[in-house]
Amino acid sequence: MSSHQQSANKITVRKLLQMKTAEEKIVCLTAYDVSFATLLDDAGVDVVLVGDSLGMVIQGLENTLPVTMDDMVYHSRCVARGLKRSLLMVDMPFMSHITPQVALQNAGRLMKESGAQIVKLEGGSEQREVVMALTSNGIPVCAHLGLQPQRVHKLGGYRVQGREADVAERMLTEAGILEQAGADVLLLECVPAELATKITKAVSIPVIGIGAGAGVDGQILVLQDILGITPGRAPKFSKDFMAGADSIQAAIQHYIAAVKAKSFPQQEHIF
């Protein structure tokens, strides 16, 4: 494939918006190293996320809070080397975006030092000024609502968010605020399917779900979960695509096909 063809096929933020408009499902997975990144890119994954979940998946920590900016830069740089087509999304770790100025410095590091093409940050309307500062300086942003792992202690655990009517209404409002602030993409984690569908229809930006039902514009899972190698109990919203597959690449391709065909997630994977 020529460099021109690679450029034409490259997934961009604009391409994600076109996919939402065309009702083509967006496929996303996590990666933390070049080997898996290359597999995901070759298989046709649209967005590869270097998540701060690396704290639990790679480092063996209890939660994502200890993950540092240096950790994110290192792993993102490794992943970037394996990507030609996929869009590289990188998490802003805990306390890395507490003010617009701090967020600009840290997001700038991810863009300049590790090749990030869009950064993801947790938080609702309180992140409005941060999102505005980043996007006005040319840094694409994926906002993150619902379950926010960086707030695990405040939330009292990993719980579905948005079951109560007032919380659901607030989440819908915050999605609109973040879109107006300039967010390019929205991620919903562990949100009731009905609410996630409502939010997806209410905003014009692409909505990616993890445990948010089938009515969103795309799906993301942790790579280790779909390969069935997650220690302990697998999340309800995930599926072991390695079962019945004869290779890791086949499992990844099964996941991509299931999301594109809208056969994943099914009822047992949603809230």
Which domain CATH number covers 225?
Answer: 3.20.20.60
In this predicted structure, the answer to whether residue 6 has a pLDDT above a threshold of 60 is no
Find the helix packing angle between 193-202 and 165-181, rounded to 10°.
Answer: 30
| Phi and psi torsions of 228, nearest 5° | 70, 25
> For residue 155, is it within any domain?
yes
> For residue 270, is it within any domain?
no
Among candidates 1, 14, 74, which has minimal Cα distance to 205? Answer: 14
Q: Which domain holds residue 41?
A: 3-263
> For residue 78, is it within any domain?
yes
pLDDT band per the 50, 70, 90 thresholds, residue 233: confident
Rounded to whole angstroms, the Cα distance separating 104 from 99 reads 9
> For residue 7, is it within any domain?
yes
Q: Within a 10 A sphere around the Cβ of 6, how many other Cβ atoms?
A: 11
Degrees to nearest 5, angle at CA 44 with 116 and 206: 60
In this predicted structure, the answer to whether residue 267 has a pLDDT above a threshold of 70 is yes
> For residue 271, is it within any domain?
no
Q: Within a 10 A sphere around the Cβ of 99, how many other Cβ atoms?
A: 11
List Cα–Cα distances, 221 to 80, 124, 152, in angstroms: 19, 22, 19
pLDDT band per the 50, 70, 90 thresholds, residue 171: very high
Among candidates 178, 209, 181, 183, which has minimal Cα distance to 195? Answer: 209
Known active-site residue 126:
no
- Report the share of the chain in percent with pLDDT over 70: 97
Please tell me which residue, 117 or 155, carries the higher pLDDT value: 117
Q: Within a 10 A sphere around the Cβ of 61, how many other Cβ atoms?
A: 15
Entry field: residues in the chain: 271
> For residue 269, is it within any domain?
no
> For residue 103, is it within any domain?
yes
Q: Which of 113, 189, 194, 268 is an active site residue?
A: 189
* Sign of the CA dihedral running 51, 56, 61, 65: positive
| Number of domains forming the structure of the chain | 1
Mean pLDDT of the chain: 95
The answer to pTM > 0.85 is yes
Whole-number pLDDT of residue 8 = 65
> For residue 218, is it within any domain?
yes
Task: Name, in order, each residue with C-beta under 8 angstroms of 167's C-beta and a sequence gap of 6 or more.
Answer: 161
